[in-house]
Structure 1
């Protein structure tokens, strides 16, 4: 799945790795393909309910291997629809494309239910791992985290009444979920070009998984364009 510019996440990771002196082998997975024996980083994009229906069974068939990779600290970024299917279940709203709940791979301790409520707009979240993170959300699935699940970040209040009607579910102020080096999020945009610290964390974990040590150095780049994009997004939170 790849909507709302999620391909930009893969492109950002490729370019930053290459600028840091690494060779990159990009593998694409299609429904029905076998998984490679070894990977160092996984990126999964967002999609509409119809896209989730098409990939759900294939993803579930490979769920065991993907969970094993996660426990080996293979970094992963799962956005929107993929984030939902990395959880336990996605229950569609009445009348949606999917008639039955879609079983996820239970890598993240989250559950999602479709609704008539839609959360749309620029979003800034405060995270422990990366500081402020900016992106764009557009989803009607409302995600609830399990008791022991750690959210990616907390939605920064916006508007005259300090509204927090955004993020995972529009109620608790949380956004995304993390497990080891796995990040699930609703932030499109795409999210990594505007948040290089997140991209570099994923790449550092990928290199560590490949060579067994911390050998990744972030590229020394002028960040004016990136910071300008972040500033504009933060100034227009919805």
Structure 2
């Protein structure tokens, strides 16, 4: 889509459709991460932005001209297979080179890096983010919260994590957040971002629990600096409930 657009509704005959691709739902969709696609589509539509959602299975070629690409979580075997097929396909690398947005969760986040471990074997990642993942001594399960990089201008991260990996960031990326509860990458930082690529361990789905993050992805994809506000009463209640639950455990 073009940059510096103004929404809501584009003029008839001049519509620019926001294309959202969900990558390999047959392999990487263990934790309800399809919700991220639904949230993005709905928040765009409520602002008058036409949306096309595309689910690309692992036996299909990945389109290279979409605006946003989503990768979800999965078990070790599907994660390794997904990485192999994405590397062989090459489409995501071409899309990133053209400026597309990528949002990846858990296993999808790990495979954006240089390497990760699946079933005890070191596997090659897509090397789109300067990071690598190995196995932790314990599994990270529970609420995940953190203060997001202030440059992104977002409220604290809220989510649920369930993973056995530990992710180590290189100088080419920035942490998405500093952990206040949970493990995230390694107990100090959570997630990573560079340019229009962003990864996290947060499920929930992440964009349902973090609508401002969803809007950030939409702004990146559309080139809009500010989107019209939406009624986020429900999500704010959920976020407040989770904050209260964490405070009660402290």
Which one scores higher on RCO, CA 8 angstroms, separation ≥ 6? 1
Structure 2 residue aligned with 1:204, among 204, 219, 243? 219
**Counterpart contact for 1:71–1:180, Cα < 8 Å:** no
Q: Deviations over 1:156-213 (max 9, x none)?
A: 1x5xxxxxx511023xx100000101111000010111211110111112122xxxxx
| Residue in 2 that maps onto 1:225 | 234
- Aligned match of 1:59: 86
The equivalent of 1:211 in structure 2 is none
Please give the TM-score of this superposition, normalised by the length of structure 2.
Answer: 0.81
1:112 counterpart = 2:133: yes
How many pairs align?
Answer: 217
Report which of the two has the higher share of strand.
2
Unaligned runs of 5+ in 1: 93-97, 159-164, 209-213
Aligned to 2:244: 235
Greater than 3 Å deviation, 4+ residue runs: none
Task: Flag structure 2 segments of 5+ consecutive residues without an equivalent.
Answer: 1-27
SS in 2 for 1:166: coil
Task: Describe the shift of the 1:142–1:215 C-alpha distance in structure 2 as closer, same or farther (beyond 3 A).
Answer: closer
SS at match of 1:188: coil
CA distance in 1 between partners of 2:94 and 2:63 (Å): 13
Which TM-score applies when normalising by structure 1? 0.85
**Counterpart-to-counterpart distance in 2, 1:99 and 1:17:** 41
Counterpart in 2 of 1:140?
Answer: 164
Structure 1 residues 148, 55: closer, same or farther in 2, change over 3 A? Answer: closer
